[in-house]
Amino acid sequence: MLQMKRRKRIYYTDTQKAMMWDRWQQGEPLHQIASLFDRHHSSVRNILAEHGGIRPPTRRRSPRVLSLAEREEISRGLAAGRSIRMIAALLGRAPSTISREIGRNEGSEGYRASQADRAAWDRARRPKPCKLLLHRALAALVAGKIQRQWSPEQVAGWLKRTYPDDASRQVSHETIYRTLYIQSRGALKQELLAHLRRTRAMRRSRHHTQKTESHGRIADTVSISERPANAEDRAVPGHWEGDLLFGDRNSQIATLVERQTRYLMLVKVAGKDTETVVNALIKNARRLPKQLYRSLTRDRGKEMAAHRRFTLATDIQVYFCDPHHPWQRGTNENTNGLLRQYFPKGINLTDVSQAKLDAVARQLNERPRKTLDYETPAERYRQTVALIG
């Protein structure tokens, strides 16, 4: 049996961790950050999750503490046999400071500058207790509001307005977030995260996005600007506009309107995924003669991601409107508005049969239209069929 090769465990340096935090704050996803170190995303996640996805503040030494250079002078002074007072005078420090430094680091015989400096840095880890830990009544008040589905920003704003002159009853929304996500603070229970609008385990950067440059775009689209001129001026029949009309519970129907005659067809679709929609449109297109179905103009909804398959199956070219330009299929948009008289917003379209859709389309096609000199789309369509017959 072949055994999977395990990667050697690595320990990230401070520089590598800083790089992780930089890229996390810039909004990069975990797997992309981990690829820099040839690691799985969980390796980076463990580092970030320790602090709830919130970058810890950079540690800085106080200018009052002994520096590494001063500790090296102490080490050299001891090796040269100088007294504590002499070393203190050379460094401009109090003799008691030098005495304590030597005493807590193995004494005069065992003192080493680098070891002493590292030990001092480790001893300095004294996290300041957060405000909600120091003011338990305030923490209880914040927790109660969050349990009522208030956001941290709403809680912070309400506290500031309710207790304008009492700083002990106020806290910033950032402190609330940090206390929720960094559980080591111990002031707010992790269960409260479930009451936030976004219940993620780590706080994301405000720059975070899952969208790439091509996210949400349909590949290999042909722009409406390339549509034939005779389709634009409605001189030739057979150029259609299409869309999905949505109800509730993820229910929808496909609408198709012929540009010259305003003739409407409705198609039942079981889902809005591209495979389901394109299959339904292919089946519908095969009901019409080629002269009456030359092109289809759509918006850039993801349900048409498989438009190339539609074209290959029907020999009908699909043109796409410019992004955020629904009026470029104005005939379809207007007809969808008329359809709302039959299918109001919020109605469940799941149980509407194809026979019912055909009946509604027939009613609309038999309405006289001002734009057709009060002829009906059905009359115009029959005239067109007769001409090509």
Q: What are the sequence ranges of the domains in the chain?
A: 14-49, 68-123, 131-195, 224-388
pLDDT reported for residue 92: 92
Angstrom CA distances, 196 to 151, 205, 286, stand at 6, 16, 50
Checking if the pLDDT of 204 tops 70, the result is no
User: Measured in whole angstroms, how far is the alpha carbon of residue 318 from the centre of its chain?
Assistant: 30
Going across the sheet that includes 317-320, the strands are: 264-269, 252-258, 239-246, 295-298, 317-320
Mean pLDDT of 352-381: 93
CB-based contact 168:135 (threshold 8 Å): yes
| Token code pair at residue 134 | 């120091």
Lowest-pLDDT choice from 124-128, 222-226, 283-287: 124-128
User: Measured in whole angstroms, how far is the alpha carbon of residue 14 from the centre of its chain?
Assistant: 28
| Token code pair at residue 336 | 């969808």
pLDDT reported for residue 56: 77
Checking if the pLDDT of 51 tops 80, the result is no
Residues 6+ apart with CB under 8 A from 214: none
Q: In the structure, what pLDDT confidence band is assigned to residue 372 with cuts at 50, 70 and 90?
A: very high
pLDDT reported for residue 278: 95
CB-based contact 284:265 (threshold 8 Å): yes
Task: Scan for tokens 């503490």, then name that residue.
Answer: 65
Mean pLDDT of 203-221: 64
Checking if the pLDDT of 41 tops 70, the result is yes
Class of domain 224-388: alpha beta
Calculate what percentage of the chain has a pLDDT beyond 70.
91
Amino acid at residue number 113: A
